[in-house]
Structure 1
Amino acid sequence: MKKLNLILTIVLAFALWSCEDGESAFEFDNQGTSTSGSIAKFQIDSKYLYVVEENSLSIYDVTDFEQLSQLSKVYVDREVETLFRLGDILYLGTTSGVLFYDITNVNQPSYVSSYDHITACDPVVSDGSYAYSTLRSSNTCGGGSDVLDIINLSDISAPSLTASYDVASPYGLVLFDNYLYVGQGLNGMKVFDITDVTAVTEVVSYDEITAIDFIRDGENLIITTRTGLVQAKVGTDGTLSVLSKINY
């Protein structure tokens, strides 16, 4: 509960700070959703706030930030780590698989299906056709291998594994057109060409950028690293040009 209160406080403070003369200056992307990283535990759009805690998914009405109301809460029988939204589907990354929830009715989020995997830390993103999930084994994430799984969503009621690729210590990830960027912490980061998901190829690696997660901002990427923030412009070939850095 303390974690949730902190999240709500941050979100509401930002939203109120963004208001001017009663009009919200909050900006959303083309699906009406705010941008967040792949290891985020909440998503927000112009009407709703979606939050995951260890074993639950909650949805709040935020049309009036002074009268925040909880619309629904669903308990999940797994340890939930991350949340990603695309359209009316929420992707919950858990320690044992990716769960898919339909939020067409926000008052009653409905479980659709799951893609199960070995115990591991599990951020996930999607383009609607495929979900991309990194599995990292460590002392806190459980045993197993460090891999990138690509999950076929042509039938979301029965997701299936299309391909799996070895990636050392993968953390967060982000899609950028035909490129997938994967953070690797102390191992840097990699850029993959995913034009053919059955034959993913590495475009380039950046050992000096100890990436943990990413936010896409137009043609740029904001990269959270072990030592600060990096803003980089993405080239048409997927390579990066660093624009600025903030160390902390």
Structure 2
Amino acid sequence: MRLTKLIWNLLCLCLVIACADDGANNLQVGGGQGQGGSLTRFAINGSYLYIASQTTLSVYDISSNEDFEMLKTVNVGFGLETISARGTYLYLGAQDAMYIYSISNPEDPQFIFRYSHIVSCDPVVVEGNRAYVTLSSGNFCNRGTNALEIIDISNPNNPVLIANYPMNTPLGIGIKDNILFVCEQTFGFTVFDVTNANDIQMLHHVNDIHAFDVILHNGVATITGDDGIYQYGYINSLELLSIIPVTK
């Protein structure tokens, strides 16, 4: 089975920012890279594309510029929502767990651990030895809790919960250099300094926009929501840079 060039182009169109760091969901595009948000269902690692469906993880070889071949499909579990690549691991957010898979052999993902929690809808982002997961009841899951969880993943075979912080219907998240953005949908978004995971510090809260997902790159946060796309500078202070409104 092959992934056509048309589908590949559609995936490229889903990327908002071209960048050159090694963050999650990076994509080689014309010699550069692209970065997806925390709610994407696909991730790139080198010459391989990983796509999460509701229950499976599919692996594609994308080394060819013309056709991309599906190599393997792995049964994971129910309710997969998001996928993030970091180093030699994939982190899959599901309605009932965070799954960790090793891609030391990129063509053959191997199950490492299933970190369970109550039923929610969970994007996952990773920086260093920590994973950041949002649990939300404000979507089609219709149950669960509203919280930010910080998890120690220094041992992928035994993730340990560091802290749990109450939030307002959190969804998309982004992390860069210990600055964490949490999108809270109709409640806007909140920015935290998470240097100390046991005592995170709120730096900013914006409540006058709808915030769905976020990408952090070069000191700019690109936030998507029902009413448009917003860009904020955030290095020294939070500054609105641009708005692309969306009319329903």
Q: Would the aligned equivalents of 2:232 and 2:242 in 1 still touch at CA under 8 Å?
A: yes
The one-letter code sitting in structure 2 at the alignment partner of 1:11 is: W
> How far 1:141 moved relative to its partner?
1.2
Q: 1:66 aligns to what SS in structure 2?
A: coil
The one-character-per-residue Cα deviations of 1:12-71 (angstroms, maximum 9, x if unpaired) are: 35669xxxxxxxxx8653369231100000123551211100101111111113121012
**In terms of mean alpha carbon deviation, does 116-125 or 152-161 score higher?**
152-161
**Alpha-carbon distance in 1 for matches of 2:94, 2:150:** 16
- 2:238 counterpart residue number: 240
Structure 2, unmatched stretches of 5+, are 28-34
- Given the alignment of the two structures, is residue 48 of structure 1 paired with residue 48 of structure 2, yes or no? yes
- 1:223 counterpart residue number: 223
> How far 1:173 moved relative to its partner?
0.3
- 2:189 counterpart residue number: 189
- 1:22 counterpart residue number: none
- Structure-2-length-normalised TM-score: 0.87
Q: Would the aligned equivalents of 1:94 and 1:121 in 2 still touch at CA under 8 Å?
A: yes
Q: Would the aligned equivalents of 1:28 and 1:46 in 2 still touch at CA under 8 Å?
A: no
**Alpha-carbon distance in 1 for matches of 2:183, 2:94:** 18
Q: 2:66 aligns to what SS in structure 1?
A: helix
**Alpha-carbon distance in 2 for matches of 1:191, 1:142:** 25
The one-character-per-residue Cα deviations of 1:193-223 (angstroms, maximum 9, x if unpaired) are: 1010001121110012321101122221111
The one-letter code sitting in structure 1 at the alignment partner of 2:155 is: D
- Relative to its length, the structure with more helix (as a share) is 1
Aligned residues: 233
Instruction: Tell me: CA distance 1:14–1:38, structure 2 relative to 1, closer, same or farther (3 Å).
Output: closer
**Alpha-carbon distance in 2 for matches of 1:85, 1:66:** 24
1:171-210 correspondence to structure 2 within 5 Å: 171-210=171-210
**Alpha-carbon distance in 1 for matches of 2:76, 2:110:** 11
**In terms of mean alpha carbon deviation, does 140-149 or 160-169 score higher?**
140-149
1:98-247 correspondence to structure 2 within 5 Å: 98-138=98-138, 140-236=140-236, 239-247=237-245
**Alpha-carbon distance in 2 for matches of 1:186, 1:15:** 28
The alignment yields a C-alpha RMSD, in angstroms, of 2.3
Q: 2:212 aligns to what SS in structure 1?
A: strand
**Alpha-carbon distance in 1 for matches of 2:194, 2:93:** 21
Instruction: Tell me: CA distance 1:30–1:161, structure 2 relative to 1, closer, same or farther (3 Å).
Output: closer
- Structure-1-length-normalised TM-score: 0.87
Instruction: Tell me: CA distance 1:150–1:189, structure 2 relative to 1, closer, same or farther (3 Å).
Output: same
